[in-house]
Amino acid sequence: MSTAAKLKIRVIPNARKTEFSGSRGDEIVLRLNAPAMEGRANAAAVEFLSRFFGVSRSAVVIIGGERSRHKIIEIVGLKNGDLERKLAQRIR
Protein backbone atom coordinates (compact mmCIF):
# COMPACT_ATOMS: atom_id res chain seq x y z
CA MET A 1 0.00 0.00 0.00
CA SER A 2 1.52 3.29 -1.09
CA THR A 3 1.25 6.47 0.93
CA ALA A 4 -0.20 9.65 -0.48
CA ALA A 5 -0.82 13.08 1.01
CA LYS A 6 -3.67 15.32 -0.08
CA LEU A 7 -3.45 19.07 -0.29
CA LYS A 8 -6.16 21.65 -0.98
CA ILE A 9 -4.90 24.64 -2.89
CA ARG A 10 -6.37 27.82 -4.33
CA VAL A 11 -4.57 28.81 -7.50
CA ILE A 12 -4.10 32.42 -8.56
CA PRO A 13 -2.84 32.47 -12.17
CA ASN A 14 -0.98 35.30 -13.92
CA ALA A 15 0.99 36.26 -10.79
CA ARG A 16 4.34 38.00 -10.95
CA LYS A 17 6.11 34.89 -9.67
CA THR A 18 5.26 31.35 -8.65
CA GLU A 19 5.12 31.01 -4.86
CA PHE A 20 3.05 30.01 -1.87
CA SER A 21 1.18 33.01 -0.53
CA GLY A 22 -0.39 32.02 2.79
CA SER A 23 -3.73 30.34 3.27
CA ARG A 24 -7.45 31.02 2.99
CA GLY A 25 -9.63 28.82 5.13
CA ASP A 26 -8.46 25.25 4.67
CA GLU A 27 -6.70 25.96 1.35
CA ILE A 28 -3.09 26.92 0.68
CA VAL A 29 -2.81 29.84 -1.76
CA LEU A 30 -0.48 29.17 -4.69
CA ARG A 31 0.32 32.07 -7.01
CA LEU A 32 1.42 30.96 -10.46
CA ASN A 33 3.36 32.81 -13.12
CA ALA A 34 1.31 31.07 -15.82
CA PRO A 35 -1.99 31.82 -17.52
CA ALA A 36 -5.12 29.78 -16.83
CA MET A 37 -5.41 28.58 -20.40
CA GLU A 38 -4.62 25.37 -22.23
CA GLY A 39 -3.59 23.66 -18.99
CA ARG A 40 -0.56 25.90 -18.45
CA ALA A 41 -1.50 26.81 -14.87
CA ASN A 42 -2.04 23.14 -13.99
CA ALA A 43 1.33 22.19 -15.49
CA ALA A 44 3.04 25.03 -13.60
CA ALA A 45 1.37 23.96 -10.35
CA VAL A 46 2.48 20.34 -10.78
CA GLU A 47 6.04 21.44 -11.63
CA PHE A 48 6.27 23.80 -8.64
CA LEU A 49 4.81 21.30 -6.16
CA SER A 50 7.07 18.47 -7.37
CA ARG A 51 10.17 20.63 -6.89
CA PHE A 52 8.96 21.99 -3.53
CA PHE A 53 8.25 18.55 -2.06
CA GLY A 54 11.17 16.82 -3.79
CA VAL A 55 9.12 14.25 -5.70
CA SER A 56 8.77 13.44 -9.39
CA ARG A 57 6.17 15.26 -11.47
CA SER A 58 4.31 11.99 -11.97
CA ALA A 59 3.86 11.76 -8.18
CA VAL A 60 1.85 15.01 -8.14
CA VAL A 61 -1.71 14.40 -9.37
CA ILE A 62 -4.63 16.83 -9.60
CA ILE A 63 -7.52 14.69 -8.36
CA GLY A 64 -10.12 17.46 -8.13
CA GLY A 65 -10.76 20.87 -9.66
CA GLU A 66 -8.74 20.56 -12.84
CA ARG A 67 -10.73 23.41 -14.42
CA SER A 68 -11.20 25.39 -11.19
CA ARG A 69 -9.07 27.64 -9.00
CA HIS A 70 -9.87 25.33 -6.08
CA LYS A 71 -7.87 22.14 -6.53
CA ILE A 72 -7.20 18.97 -4.59
CA ILE A 73 -3.71 17.63 -5.16
CA GLU A 74 -2.49 14.16 -4.24
CA ILE A 75 1.24 13.67 -3.72
CA VAL A 76 2.15 9.99 -3.93
CA GLY A 77 4.97 8.82 -1.68
CA LEU A 78 4.53 11.61 0.85
CA LYS A 79 2.81 11.29 4.22
CA ASN A 80 0.44 13.98 5.52
CA GLY A 81 2.78 14.66 8.45
CA ASP A 82 5.71 15.29 6.11
CA LEU A 83 3.57 17.54 3.95
CA GLU A 84 2.39 19.61 6.91
CA ARG A 85 5.91 19.92 8.32
CA LYS A 86 7.31 21.12 5.00
CA LEU A 87 4.51 23.64 4.53
CA ALA A 88 4.78 24.93 8.10
CA GLN A 89 8.42 25.87 7.45
CA ARG A 90 7.38 27.90 4.40
CA ILE A 91 3.91 29.28 5.14
CA ARG A 92 3.07 31.33 8.18
Task: Write the pLDDT tens digit of every residue in 18-47.
Answer: 999 999 999 999 999 999 999 999 999 999
Full-model pTM: 0.90
Chain-centroid distance of CA 58 in Å reads 13
- As a whole number of angstroms, the distance between CA 30 and CA 20 comes to 5
Quote the Cα angle for 54-55-61, to 5°: 130
Does the pLDDT at position 1 exceed 60? no
